[in-house]
């Protein structure tokens, strides 16, 4: 119960984003991609809580639907990165030798490559879009979780329970899956919100420069980009309000990750 109370501030900050991401299609919102040229550049009001943009699109509806896009891509990409990287790290630690060196050197090469540059290259080759973003982020997260799991699993190789599993005739794959990977779960769980926060920032950054999600699909970075040119005319809402949504979502994910890491350090 004390642990839940410690995590409560971050959970409360993230709850509206999670709720909206799940239930946005069930809420009575205007179509986020249906332009209304008769209601362009309308300031926030009772009929349009966050105003409308240059195409007459309801900004409030678009901010809420963008939560589904940004969180969906970010969480899916990080989970995919974990599914790829965690087994690699455990296998590297268990097998050791040449295989471990090859995996580690590959991880270091991948992590040395700037993410934005990598995303730009992939986008130019296969085209931009949500699938491309998810693949890029998954590939980029895999080495990170591979190194985390390897660092946790390596000291466990010579423990009694692993030797007992070997004596019982269990295959290496079974030992890795049943005995080693579960021990890495707390470390993975504490890093997951931090990776998701970084992924949300990256998605918004790439969409802002035109390499991520393209309009009219609602996405925070793209909305900030398209609305930025209208700020000088006093039409701040179409850019500032999506920016605040991005800010608080990343703040909540980072705060949750830090609090989970602190709890894990106390346990250890």
CATH number assigned to the domain comprising residue 10: 1.10.3720.10
User: How does residue 181 score in pLDDT terms, banded at 50, 70 and 90?
Assistant: confident
pLDDT digits (tens, 9 = 90+) for 211-268: 888 778 899 999 999 888 888 888 899 999 999 999 999 999 999 988 888 887 665 4
**Higher pLDDT pick, 37 / 70:** 70
- Phi then psi for 52, rounded to 5 degrees? -125, 160
DSSP state of 178: I
Can you tell me the mean pLDDT for 168-174?
A: 80
Residue 211 CB coordination number (10 Å): 21
Q: Name the residue range of residue 122's domain.
A: 2-267
Question: What's the pLDDT score for residue 161?
Answer: 80
pLDDT digits (tens, 9 = 90+) for 78-109: 999 999 999 999 988 888 888 888 989 888 88
Look over the chain and give the mean of its residue pLDDT values, rounded to a whole number: 87
- Phi then psi for 243, rounded to 5 degrees? -65, -40
Q: How many domains does the chain have?
A: 1
User: d(Cα 23, Cα 68) in Å, to the nearest integer?
Assistant: 9
Q: Which two tokens stand for residue 149?
A: 């799991």
CB 61 within 8 A of CB 32: yes
Question: What's the pLDDT score for residue 265?
Answer: 67
Of all residues in the chain, the percent with pLDDT exceeding 70 is 97
pLDDT digits (tens, 9 = 90+) for 198-224: 999 999 998 898 888 877 889 999 999
Kindly give, in sequence order, each residue whose CB lies less than 8 Å from that of residue 34, ignoring residues fewer than 6 positions away: 57
Kindly give, in sequence order, each residue whose CB lies less than 8 Å from that of residue 119, ignoring residues fewer than 6 positions away: 132, 133, 136, 202, 206, 211
Q: Which two tokens stand for residue 259?
A: 């609090």
């Amino acid at each position: 119960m004390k642990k839940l109370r410690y995590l409560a501030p971050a959970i409360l900050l993230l709850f509206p984003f999670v709720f909206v991401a799940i239930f946005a299609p069930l809420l009575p919102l205007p179509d986020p991609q249906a332009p209304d040229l008769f209601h362009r550049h309308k300031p926030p009001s009772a009929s349009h809580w966050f105003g409308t943009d240059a195409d007459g699109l309801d900004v409030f509806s678009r901010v809420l639907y963008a939560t589904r896009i940004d969180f969906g891509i970010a969480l899916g990409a990080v989970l995919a990165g974990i599914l790829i990287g965690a087994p690699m790290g455990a296998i590297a630690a268990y097998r050791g030798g040449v295989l471990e060196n090859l995996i580690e050197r590959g991880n270091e090469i991948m992590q040395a490559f700037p993410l934005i540059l990598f995303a730009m290259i992939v986008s130019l080759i296969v085209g931009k879009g949500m699938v491309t973003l998810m693949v890029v982020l998954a590939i980029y997260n895999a080495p990170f979780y591979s190194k985390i799991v390897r660092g946790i699993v390596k000291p466990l190789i010579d423990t009694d329970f692993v030797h007992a599993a070997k004596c019982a005739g269990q295959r290496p794959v079974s030992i890795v899956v049943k005995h080693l990977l579960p021990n890495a779960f707390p470390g993975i769980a504490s890093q997951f919100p931090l990776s998701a926060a970084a992924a949300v920032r990256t998605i918004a950054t790439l969409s802002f420069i035109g390499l991520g999600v393209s309009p009219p699909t609602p996405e925070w970075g793209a909305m900030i980009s398209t609305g930025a040119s209208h700020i000088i005319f006093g039409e701040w809402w179409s850019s500032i309000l999506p920016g605040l949504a991005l800010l608080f979502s990343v703040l909540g994910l980072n705060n949750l990750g830090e609090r989970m890491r602190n709890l894990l350090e106390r346990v250890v």
